[in-house]
Amino acid sequence: MTRIKLETTIHASLEICFDVSRDIDVHVESTKHTGETAIAGTTSGLIGLGESVTWRAKHLGIWQTLSTKITSFTYPTYFVDEMTDGAFASMKHEHIFEREQTYTRMTDIFVFESPLGFLGKLFNTLYLTRYMHNLLQHRNDVIKQEAERRAASHA
């Protein structure tokens, strides 16, 4: 299993950060460089507990689909999406939101396992972990910008 942990400081309320992070339309915007679209399940707006979404995107030059389900949800501090079908052997993404003095700390814990045993582990080491880290970091940058934009418009 590979584990990626990212922390992002956002100058917006817990509620705004939580909602922006689970907004399908913001997710699509954050991954537009991959051509990612939501093709089944909850395909726009806010996703919630027990809901699923199937994504289609081009990663590593190959069109792929990935289905996830929200398996845990505590508004506005925590939710988890887990792969139900896709290229990974397993994937779990925890989203944690904590209010600090003047900002919200958004923490992502992304745990995945590649298929193909030893070859999958080698691929993770040589390429996939860095690729996923960069993809998640870019997504978090877009979430931060959108949350801070929404917070400023409500001020």
How do residues 49-108 score in pLDDT, each as one tens digit?
A: 999 999 999 998 899 999 999 999 999 999 999 999 999 999 999 999 999 999 999 999
Domain ranges for the chain, please list them. Answer: 2-154
Mean pLDDT of 130-146: 97
DSSP string, 104-152: EEEEEEEEEE-SSHHHHHHHIIIIIHHHHHHHHHHHHHHHHHHHHHHHH
Give the pLDDT score at 4. Answer: 97
pLDDT at 21 > cutoff 90: yes
| pLDDT above 90 as % of the chain | 88
Residue 11 · residue 146 · CB < 8 Å = no
Mean pLDDT of 98-120: 93
Going by C-alpha positions, the residue among 104, 90, 89 that lies closest to residue 18 is: 104
Tell me the pTM. Answer: 0.95
**The domain defined by 2-154 carries CATH number 3.50.50.60:** no
Give the pLDDT score at 120. Answer: 82
Question: Can you tell me whether residue 42 is helix, strand or coil?
Answer: coil
